[in-house]
Amino acid sequence: MDTKFIPVRVSPFTPVIGLEVHIELATKSKMFCGCSSDHFAKEANTQTCPVCLGLPGALPFANKTAIEMVVKFGLAFDCKVNEFSKFDRKHYFYPDLPKGYQISQYDLPLCLNGKPGIRRIHLEEDTAKLVHRAGKSLIDFNRSGVALMEMVTEPDFHNTGDVVAFLKEVQLVARYLGVSNADMEKGSMRLEANVSLSPDGTLPGYKVELKNINSFRFLEKALTAEITRQEEILKSDGKVENETRGWDEFKQVTFSQRTKEEAQDYRYFPEPDIPPISLSQSQISSLKSQIPELPEKKRQRFGKEYKLSQDFIEILVSEKDRADYFEEAARLNNNYKIIADLMVNKKMDGQFPEPAGLIKKIVELTSIEYAPPSEVESAVNLVIMDNPKALEDYDKGNANVIGFLIGMVQKRLNGKGNPKLVQEKLLERLQK
């Protein structure tokens, strides 16, 4: 036998990773004004008003749907919803922030303490977009003020695989709830990871922020590279700087974007122009009742009810519409594995917009054309002639040989014998 040695990476350090995820909400209008929030690929600065341009004297008003979406999202992750919540101003100076502050939430976010390790989920507004073109920086305010939720986790992740799996689930839940398309290419879902290493997996005195990563694949690579980079520094007794780093896909390394000497002071204070939010228990439970079956529960149920393989389940559940399609088809026909196979491997749900069409096709594919009765009869005769011993056994009272003989007949008929007819003819012949 060929012996292969699999190299095992032994490290004296455990990664400590916390996440910040920004998700743009799929509300029709922006967070604090009536402008359309559908900003993607729109002509620059066509969806603005005094509020989202931050003009003096403009008054914001909160988008109720956005608040409800965040509450539902938080409940989906077992968060505690704050009955009393408020908005705060977060100050920093950057050209994409017309007011000089972002309306966000500081000490009383909408949602707290979810699972797994979710510290908080709060609601804020998106910034404008800077476009760098021909040596100039241009500002597009279409995105300014779009409803944005931010999920912050505890530094509870200790490997790259868990981080990516968790974030994929976050994306899936956002889509199931219809709160966002969470499309990373369009910037509707944006990831940041705080990475450090320590001997025992507790937070050391530093962290590196990985920012501007716009796909799960890049995140996986960036985390792996960053963990290795920090490991090498620590192994040679060096000190890892507190800094923000990006991912260079071309060179396959993380690179320094900004070093942080001290924590920035955002001078948070309560937003005076928007009244605080109070949510009653009955409002919260009514929102909870609107949550559909979530992906994890669906996976478990699909395993139990339809006995499908994990691979099939994962693909079916990865889109709510696909899972619903499967279930509608499964109600019409109980060939669950065939339905799943045709959907997953043959992509037949694309050919048949209605599950009923797919089922019709399955019935066509699975209905066997039985051999004519005369053929069955002659196959039975041949099998009995060929197996005198079986006939003897049957006469001695061994009924078990019937199964054997049926198998032999079906073999002769290439499995095309109508099972009922085969048995009938065989018994007729044996009892003669």
Q: Which does 33 bind (CB under 5 to 8 A by kind): Zn ion, Mn ion, none?
A: Zn ion
**Residue appearing with tokens 């919260």:** 284
Residues 12-51 that bind Zn ion (CB under 5 A): 33, 35, 49, 51
User: How many amino acids of this chain bind Mn ion (CB under 5 A)?
Assistant: 1
Query: How far, in Å, CA of 277 to CA of 272, rounded?
Result: 13
Residue closer to Mn ion, measured from CB, 82 or 127: 127
150 binds Mn ion per the rule CB under 5 A: yes
367-372 long-range contacts, Cβ below 8 Å, gap at least 24? 368/415, 368/416, 369/416, 370/416, 370/417, 370/418, 370/421, 371/413, 371/416, 371/417, 371/418
Residue closer to Zn ion, measured from CB, 39 or 119: 39
- Cβ 159 vs Cβ 207: under 8 Å: no
Min separation Cβ 50 and Mn ion, Å? 23
User: Going residue by residue from 50 to 89, which x/- string records binding to Zn ion, judged by CB under 5 A?
Assistant: -xx-------------------------------------
Q: What is the DSSP letter of 241?
A: P
Instruction: Write the secondary structure of 91-158 as one string of H (helix), E (strand) and C (coil).
Output: ECCCCCCCCCEEEECCCCCCEEEECCCEEEEEEEECCCEEEEECCEEEEEHHHCCCEEEEEEECCCEC
Residues 377-396 that bind Mn ion (CB under 5 A): none
User: Going residue by residue from 105 to 144, which x/- string records binding to Mn ion, judged by CB under 5 A?
Assistant: ----------------------------------------
88 binds Mn ion per the rule CB under 5 A: no
- Cβ 198 vs Cβ 180: under 8 Å: no
- Cβ 270 vs Cβ 252: under 8 Å: no
Residue closer to Mn ion, measured from CB, 97 or 391: 97
User: How many amino acids of this chain bind Zn ion (CB under 5 A)?
Assistant: 5
SS3 of 238, please? coil
Residue closer to Mn ion, measured from CB, 20 or 393: 20
24 binds Mn ion per the rule CB under 5 A: no
What does the binding site for Zn ion look like in residue numbers (CB under 5 A)? 33, 35, 49, 51-52
What does the binding site for Mn ion look like in residue numbers (CB under 5 A)? 150
